A and B are shown apart, each in its own frame.
Chain A
């Protein structure tokens, strides 16, 4: 069974990320989003649990230490993980690799690819200073 992906974020961020990834590589199975807007802490955990069940899943969240991350962490069980700092690079890595490598290696690879999206480029003028 393919590893599922659920993007849990503040507001519409997750919906937009899933939409943009599918715009790039086409519609995907077991790949969905959840906005936590208007939900209490307990409601977020309940909703995440309902969406991922006991299946092998990775829950992507935007920011560590925030409700989507904390309450998704409360919902996961075996063969499930929460990965914060979601970005398009991380999600593309997830989709491209989820059918070919095992669960733990998959999480490590997409975290590495997600981190590659974080970089600073100074203008050439500032480089010279």
Chain B
């Protein structure tokens, strides 16, 4: 069965996911929803081994690998009209850099963010440090739509940062 595009989701989606390009992206987002998928990661973009690894995985998928600066340049040069585009960043810090650089996504999804010392779990597979929590709260206060959504067909859940 071919995945059906989610009717309520149309525009630039930024996914915060430290798994980078992986199964949920390949079998979920690239399979009917996304017109383009960009992996935005300064280290992957600059490291020839990592870059080749992900270029191989993304073969046949429109899009590619960009630094954050390259992604912002592309976003602004297209007049911020990007269609159904998925942009993957690995961390809340990288998300903030994109937003500070002027990107205004239709939606921001927190997907896989691994466990770690001092991190709190706010949902299945989503673990945030104190700094991450501050970033998310500030972006929400600025009116950005941040939610939990694994796949285009999945229901969305609100991101609620627990009070200390």
Where the two chains meet, the residues of A that have a C-beta atom closer than 8 Å to any C-beta of B are 10, 37-43, 63, 65-67, 70, 73-74
Contacts and interface: CB of A to CB of B under 8 A. Distances in A.
Given A39-B114, A40-B114, A66 B23 contact: yes
Contacts of B125: 37-38
B65 to A, nearest CB: 13
B115 A67 contact: no
A67 B114 contact: no
Most buried by B among A10, A41, A65, A67: A41
A34 B112 CA distance: 18
Given A38-B125, A41-B19, A66-B26, A74 B53 contact: yes
Interface string B45-78: 0000110011001000000000000000000000
Nearest to A66: B23
Interface residues of B, number: 20
A67 B53 contact: no
A41 B115 contact: no
Nearest to A37: B125
A74 B50 contact: yes
Given A10-B23, A39-B115, A43-B114, 16 more contacts: A38-B127, A40-B18, A40-B90, A40-B112, A40-B114, A41-B18, A41-B22, A41-B90, A65-B22, A65-B27, A66-B22, A66-B27, A67-B23, A70-B21, A70-B54, A74-B50
A74 B56 CA distance: 12
Contacts of A38: 114-115, 125, 127
B34 interface: no
Interface in B60-102: 90
Contacts of A70: 21-22, 53-54, 57
Nearest to B23: A66
B45 to A, nearest CB: 14
B20 interface: yes
